[in-house]
Amino acid sequence: MKPPESNYTIAVILGDGIGPEIVGAASTVLKRTAELDNFTVELIQYEAGAAAYQKYGDPLPSPAQAGCRQADAIFKGPTGLPDVRLPDGTEAGVLGGRLRNGLDLYVNLRPIKLYPNIPTALANRQAGDIDWVMVRENTEGLYASRGNGIVANTGQAATDTLMITRLGSERIIRYAFEEARRRNRQKRVACVDKSNVLRSFAFFRQIFREIAAEYPDIQTDFLYVDAAAQALVLEPDRFDVIVTENLFGDILSDLGGATVGGIGVCAGANIGDQHAYFEPIHGSAPALAGRGVANPLAAILAAGLMLNYLGRPESAARIERAVEQAFLDKAVVLRPDGSAESGTQAVAKAIHSRL
Ligand code: IPM
Ligand code: MN
């Protein structure tokens, strides 16, 4: 968290598909929050993502790169479209590698929290029962191979290599322990790995034990990733902070999302020592785009995570409370396809009026 300022410059990437609609909705909530708490946010838009790739041949053109580096924080809508692909078959518009590795944003923080009146996929769970945060390593693991996969044997085989480093592990694990202290809830960090099978994960777990020794006030828990997938469904109240490798964190955060009403209510923060960006964790949902039906809550909650990072925890709490109140009042009803019953604008208004 940074020290608070009275003026913030935010680089905004609207994104593809439903991106412009939900980022627009979240921007009105962000501006209103700033107004109520007596500071200003200047939002500067940059073209980036699949549309930018189609137009310029680069999903992150240099104005966006420079703007992101200069800003106090980056607010990003979902980018990428299923049909816009690189010659190697991967999606051209996703910015994960460019921003996360380019800006060394090694923490991917994803709160998984069940709000009131949300129909959860889990029986007998209520608001308060599920409240944990994923601390996903964001720069290495299996995704260290992003853009570097190898197709061998004259096209008959392909490999991606999982890489776990000491530095990368130490810093993400330390962040997880600090996060458990900041949250001050169960004060427990779960290490999720596959150290029963893979050497790289035994290495990660060893480093986890070393760092844990620096935090005698925080409890530890150890789960193999397969068992963790089950536990997140059967005993979600066991979790406070989870730290894990990049791909495992990617998968388990969506699984967590399913337990709290879907990833349409899940926001993520990508944080490094110098820069950070904030985004809904869902994709660009092209099928919903342009219809005014997309649910902007994940983007709105991402704005809250951003304000917390910018040294404005009371403003972040204001947004979270407004979302909670909107659910309590049944002012927001979500549909299974990721849309909101009343539409994008109505959801934004429901939050705006409860700030
Ligand atoms: C996420 C996404 C990205 C990832 C994709 C879109 C590149 O799934 O942020 O969770 O792989 O990390
Ligand atoms: Mn994902």
pLDDT digits (tens, 9 = 90+) for 84-97: 999 988 999 999 88
pLDDT for the residue 119:
82
Closest to 59 measured CA to CA, from 97, 89, 108? 97
8 Å CB contact between 194 and 222: no
Interatomic CA distance for residues 323 and 127, integer angstroms: 13
pLDDT for the residue 183:
97
Please enumerate in sequence order all residues whose Cβ is within 8 A of that of 339, keeping only pairs 6 or more positions apart, or say none: 288, 293, 294, 295
Q: Give the residue carrying structure tokens 């593809």.
A: 16
The structure tokens listed for 131 are 């409240």
How far is the centre of ligand 2, averaged over its atoms, from the C-alpha of 52 (Å)?
21
**CB of 94 sitting under 6 A from ligand 1:** yes
Collect the ranges in the chain with pLDDT lower than 70: none
Atom of ligand 1 nearest to the CA of 279: 9
8 Å CB contact between 225 and 193: yes
**CB of 250 sitting under 6 A from ligand 1:** yes
Interatomic CA distance for residues 325 and 303, integer angstroms: 17
Taking the CA of 94 as reference, the closest ligand is 1
Atom of ligand 1 nearest to the CA of 138: 12
By alpha-carbon position, which residue is closest to atom 7 of ligand 1?
A: 96
**CB of 269 sitting under 6 A from ligand 1:** no
How far is the centre of ligand 1, averaged over its atoms, from the C-alpha of 144 (Å)?
13
pLDDT for the residue 96:
85
Exposure string over 113-127, b if 16+ CB within 10 A, otherwise e: bbbebbebebeebeb
How far is the centre of ligand 1, averaged over its atoms, from the C-alpha of 138 (Å)?
10
8 Å CB contact between 295 and 86: no
Q: Which residues pair with 112 in a beta bridge?
A: 132
Interatomic CA distance for residues 46 and 68, integer angstroms: 9
pLDDT for the residue 120:
83
pLDDT for the residue 240:
98
What DSSP string describes 307-344?
HHHTT-HHHHHHHHHHHHHHHHTT---B-TTSBBTT-H
Residue 112 burial by CB count (10 A; 0-12/13-18/19+): exposed, middle or buried?
buried
pTM given for the model: 0.96
